[in-house]
A and B are shown apart, each in its own frame.
Chain A
Amino acid sequence: MSRPRHVLPGFRLSLGFTVTYLSLLVLFPLSMLAWKAASGGWPHVIETLTHVRVIASLKLSFGTAFVAALVNGVFGLLTAWALERYAFPGRRLLDAMVDLPFALPTAVAGIALVTLYAPNGWIGSFLAQHDIKAAYAPLGITIALTFVGFPFVVRTLQPVIADLSMDVEEAAACLGANRWQTLTRVVFPALLPSTLAGMTLAFGRAVGEYGSVVFISGNLPFKTEIAPLLITMRLEEYDYAGAATIGVVMLAASFAILLISNLLTNWSRSRTGR
């Protein structure tokens, strides 16, 4: 762009290494999915995708991930707001805890969640008294997916809230708006795009989630069998083409999610003027 940039060395080296590493370890292996899915021929692709069990699992994965994203949207927005705007004891601790799902292995989260929400667990026994089944039911899957997606909403929103300029809120207050009006008509519209971007990322992470779900879901065919689990089962049956076909559908969803979240981020920038 400007001349001083050329002062710095290593452009070719770093770009070359990055692109080679990325292509060899991610892009080329991912292209195998399309190749293998096609290797079974179109009839097999259609047969796989119209199979009731596959449709049920895709519906379950996308449905529970969607609900989890909605829950995370609400609680993530409140948490990010509290962390950025208020001073309270334990704020830094809370802030650090947000990243727990990044750092805690999914299998560990999985066995902890199922122990909590099983009918004899701390929360599960309470829910059982009210005839609510969490573990081994879609509700349990949704809880696990809420767990894994939460940091994405908070971490997307925090810098946006921090950069929100106070002037507009002051202006609204000066013009006679009460705090509630300012929040709903000035602040919330400014935060909406990033909230949606964060929810999209949480959704994207949740759709493919495996480790924290397989323990709590119970894995009943047609009922609590998520799509990633079905992929592993197809692989174990050596139906590579079938597994790859389901994989292609999920990969397409991942690409769409990345694209949508990028568009939402741009929208957010245009709204908050960053």
Chain B
Amino acid sequence: MAAIILHQHRSRPRKATSESPFSRWLIIGIAVVFMALMFVLPLVVIFQEAFRKGWEGYMEAFDDRATTHAIWLTLQVAAITVPLNTLFGLAAAWCVSRFQFRGKRLLTALIELPLWVSPVIAGMVYVLLFGAQGLFGPSLKEHSIKIIFALPGIVLSTIFVTFTFVARVLAPQMEAQGQAEEEAAMTLGANGWQMFWRVTLPKIKWGLLYGIILCNARSMGEFGAVSVVSGHIRNKTNTVPLHIEVLYNEYQFVPAFAVASVLALLALVTLILKTLTTTPRGAA
């Protein structure tokens, strides 16, 4: 008996610094139940509602002009937003993680700011800039350039909202990795681009990939900011999340959840890739 108890505790480093098995399983149980209720159940509901009318009903949802247009528009938005924010994320992470300068902490805080600004505000500021009554509204009208209620406005507000992600993932990683290899490359005569392509990029590729995927998932799924600037014009400025809202409010639940399930799958792929690209401990 004593041998069995001893054996059970062998995997724990020290008995005195760990909880009793009862408390341990209680804490694990609370965490698992909480997350099952909060996170797993909503996911299950999405797919259950999407397949309420079977596979055919599911596929029918995509056989619709407004839906395909929304998907096309969302792909366009992501195709512009993600490369721009990736470039910014690389530049921001490089200067924050490799150099000491005055105002660095302020800059770091400002890079994170968009995460804490309400998405509605992110959309609104562009309406205030480019809307009919906005700062540049009259002169835009003169040249008949449309930004609000059109693609440029949607792209701008999406950039604002997804601004932080690549930098936020990369900066701590680059800081942790240190810069010895880069310094060695420079000392051995590499130029800046050689150093970046041959040393830095291979070092950060997984973090960069995750940052890009997260940025992509967010830019395809942004709702609040885009909803303010888009004007909800069907077949014109409805992105996928806005189209989901329209379908839902029209009580077309199966199509709404079918389209939503695509974004949910994208989210799951994002999470899987995150798990694969970071070490088990790694908290972004």
- Indicate with 1 or 0, residue by residue over A78-118, a CB within 8 angstroms of chain B CB atoms: 11011101111010101111111111111111111101100
Say yes or no for B257: interface residue by CB 8 A criterion: yes
Q: Which residue of B lies closest to A187 (CB)?
A: B17
Q: Given A7-B187, A29-B160, A107-B223, are A247 and B35 also a contact pair (CB < 8 Å)?
A: no
Chain B residues positioned under 8 Å from A141 (CB to CB): none
| Interface stretch of the complex, out of B2-10, B58-66, B110-118 | B110-118
Indicate if the CB atoms of B267 and A105 lie closer than 8 Å: yes
Say yes or no for A44: interface residue by CB 8 A criterion: no
Chain A residues positioned under 8 Å from B280 (CB to CB): 92, 95
Chain B residues positioned under 8 Å from A7 (CB to CB): 182-183, 186-187
Indicate if the CB atoms of B17 and A251 lie closer than 8 Å: no
Indicate if the CB atoms of A36 and B128 lie closer than 8 Å: yes
Chain A residues positioned under 8 Å from B112 (CB to CB): 258
Indicate if the CB atoms of A166 and B159 lie closer than 8 Å: no
Say yes or no for B125: interface residue by CB 8 A criterion: yes
Give Cα distance in the complex from A230 to B120, angstroms.
Answer: 10
Contacting residue for B274 out of A99, A143, A209, CB 8 A: A99
Say yes or no for B145: interface residue by CB 8 A criterion: no
- Indicate with 1 or 0, residue by residue over B2-39, a CB within 8 angstroms of chain A CB atoms: 00000000010110111110011001101110110111
Indicate if the CB atoms of A112 and B43 lie closer than 8 Å: yes
Q: Which residue of A lies closest to B126 (CB)?
A: A29
Say yes or no for B154: interface residue by CB 8 A criterion: no
Indicate if the CB atoms of A17 and B88 lie closer than 8 Å: yes
Indicate if the CB atoms of B118 and A33 lie closer than 8 Å: no
Q: Given A27-B110, A29-B160, A258-B116, are A9 and B192 also a contact pair (CB < 8 Å)?
A: yes
Say yes or no for B79: interface residue by CB 8 A criterion: no
Give Cα distance in the complex from A82 to B24, angstroms.
Answer: 8
Interface size on A (CB < 8 Å)? 104
Chain A residues positioned under 8 Å from B101 (CB to CB): 11, 15
Chain B residues positioned under 8 Å from A98 (CB to CB): 35
Q: Which residue of A lies closest to B133 (CB)?
A: A240
Q: Given A18-B95, A75-B30, A235-B124, are A112 and B118 also a contact pair (CB < 8 Å)?
A: no
Chain A residues positioned under 8 Å from B275 (CB to CB): 92, 95-96
Indicate if the CB atoms of B45 and A122 lie closer than 8 Å: yes
What's the minimum C-beta distance from B39 to chain A, rounded to whole angstroms? 5
Give Cα distance in the complex from A100 to B41, angstroms.
Answer: 12
Indicate if the CB atoms of A113 and B192 lie closer than 8 Å: no
Indicate if the CB atoms of B118 and A244 lie closer than 8 Å: no
For the complex of A and B, 7 pairs with smallest distance between CB atoms: A105-B221, A208-B118, A210-B224, A173-B16, A211-B223, A29-B125, A112-B42
A13-B91, A88-B28, A105-B217 are known contacts; what are 18 more A-B pairs with Cβ within 8 Å?
A: A8-B99, A15-B99, A22-B107, A25-B156, A26-B160, A27-B110, A33-B121, A99-B270, A103-B217, A103-B268, A116-B41, A123-B41, A143-B38, A208-B119, A208-B120, A211-B227, A215-B245, A247-B121
Sample 13 A-B pairs with CB under 8 A, ordered by A number.
A5-B98, A8-B98, A14-B91, A32-B128, A32-B129, A35-B128, A92-B275, A97-B35, A111-B46, A123-B37, A169-B16, A170-B17, A182-B17
